[in-house]
């Protein structure tokens, strides 16, 4: 269980898009970028191949219709009253698997210590008070109504909000505190040079960045190698040059 001396990071792996290597790379990056005792809990439906130091727990249960079951809506289960491996009220830092850690993570636990919900200000909707749930700090069981309401009316909530982070941002009664803007970057929406410069320039890594999110495509390995899977008719603008700093950090 959580102790005052231990920092807990949690992540989730389900389905087949991300394998055990993503969990293992995340754990390796966490160990290199924390000075205080830190553990990683991974809630997953398949723990095969995951480093034994990672605390794998069963996939979190949430009743969702088939069209939402394997989408990020599963993350709503983190708002349940209890979570395996943690006690009610424990603080935890959630991070998606498809990130690259490029700086110290300890400060994500000490930033605004009285804040109950710290989250990224969504890069593509900066003015709309929407939190991006790639990385957020929360306390276990602090807002179970978020999950209760989703389970009670999943189709209605999906139709109204379209994605889980818009839903959470709209209904939470807990004030959202945003991480410092420099800490969390979107590879696609913040670092990748705009067309047509993306054909000739490598995406830079700003010095104060601590976490880079890879929403949608390309994934970290694809951007690292200069690959962007896309239909042929989108290749005229969907392009990324090989990005050395990903290889240096995503390991």
pLDDT tens sequence across 16-41: 999 999 999 999 999 999 999 999 99
Strand-pair partners of 7: 38
- Regarding whether 112 and 39 lie in a shared domain, the answer is yes
- Regarding whether 107 and 44 lie in a shared domain, the answer is yes
In a domain, 87, yes or no: yes
Contacts of 49 (CB under 8 A, 6+ apart): 19, 20, 21, 24
- Regarding whether 131 and 242 lie in a shared domain, the answer is no
The Cα–Cα gap between 41 and 30 comes to: 12
Task: Give the domain-ending residue among 178, 206, 236.
Answer: 178
Q: What's the pTM value of the predicted model, to 2 decimals?
A: 0.95
Average pLDDT along the chain? 96
The Cα–Cα gap between 202 and 199 comes to: 8
Residue indicated by tokens 């993503």: 22
- Regarding whether 58 and 125 lie in a shared domain, the answer is yes
Crossing angle of the two packed helices 164-171 and 154-161, in degrees rounded to 10? 90
- Is the pLDDT confidence value at 178 over 80? yes
- Regarding whether 171 and 133 lie in a shared domain, the answer is yes
- Judge contact between 45 and 113, C-beta under 8 A: no
In a domain, 73, yes or no: yes
In a domain, 1, yes or no: no
In a domain, 2, yes or no: no
Total tally of structural domains belonging to the chain: 2
Q: Please give the pLDDT value at position 1.
A: 43
CATH code (residue 38): 3.90.550.10
- Regarding whether 149 and 43 lie in a shared domain, the answer is yes
Strand-pair partners of 9: 40, 93
In a domain, 148, yes or no: yes
Q: Tens digit of pLDDT for each residue in 37-85?
A: 999 999 999 999 999 999 999 999 999 999 998 999 999 999 999 999 9
- Regarding whether 147 and 69 lie in a shared domain, the answer is yes
In a domain, 16, yes or no: yes
- Regarding whether 140 and 41 lie in a shared domain, the answer is yes
Segments forming the whole domain that contains residue 128? 7-178
Task: Give the domain-ending residue among 178, 205, 230.
Answer: 178
- Judge contact between 155 and 65, C-beta under 8 A: yes
In a domain, 218, yes or no: yes
- Regarding whether 199 and 164 lie in a shared domain, the answer is no
Give the model's confidence band at 92: pLDDT under 50 very low, under 70 low, under 90 confident, else very high. very high
- Regarding whether 201 and 105 lie in a shared domain, the answer is no
CA distances from 126 to 15, 119, 132, 250 (A): 31, 13, 10, 27
State how beta strands 7-13 and 38-44 pair. Answer: parallel
- Regarding whether 210 and 138 lie in a shared domain, the answer is no
- Regarding whether 41 and 19 lie in a shared domain, the answer is yes
> Rounded to the nearest 10 degrees, how much is the dihedral formed by the CA atoms of 132, 113, 205, 95?
-50
Burial (CB < 10 A; 0-12, 13-18, 19+), residue 190, is middle
Task: Give the domain-ending residue among 178, 213, 231.
Answer: 178
In a domain, 147, yes or no: yes
């Amino acid at each position: 269980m959580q102790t005052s001396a231990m920092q807990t990071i949690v992540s989730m792996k389900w389905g087949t898009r991300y394998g055990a290597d993503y969990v293992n790379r995340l754990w390796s990056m966490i160990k290199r970028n924390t000075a205080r005792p830190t553990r990683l809990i991974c809630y997953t439906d398949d723990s095969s191949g995951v480093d034994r130091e990672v605390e794998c727990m069963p996939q979190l249960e949430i009743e969702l219709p088939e069209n939402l079951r394997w989408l990020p809506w599963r993350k709503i289960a983190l708002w349940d009253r209890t979570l395996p491996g943690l006690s009610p009220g424990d603080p935890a830092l959630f991070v998606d698997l498809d990130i690259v850690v490029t700086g110290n993570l300890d400060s994500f636990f000490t930033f605004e210590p009285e804040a109950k919900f710290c989250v990224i200000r969504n890069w593509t909707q900066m003015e709309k008070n929407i939190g991006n749930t790639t990385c957020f700090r929360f306390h276990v069981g602090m807002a179970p109504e978020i999950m209760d309401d989703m389970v009670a009316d999943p189709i209605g909530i999906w139709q109204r909000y379209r994605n889980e982070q818009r839903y959470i941002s709209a209904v939470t009664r807990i004030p959202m505190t945003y991480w410092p803007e420099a800490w969390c970057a979107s590879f696609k929406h913040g670092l990748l040079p705009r067309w047509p410069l993306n054909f000739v320039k490598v995406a830079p890594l700003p010095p104060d960045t601590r976490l880079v999110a890879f929403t949608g495509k390309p994934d970290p390995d694809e951007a690292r190698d200069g690959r962007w899977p896309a239909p042929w008719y989108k290749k005229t603008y969907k392009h990324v040059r090989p990005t050395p700093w990903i290889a240096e950090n995503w390991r």
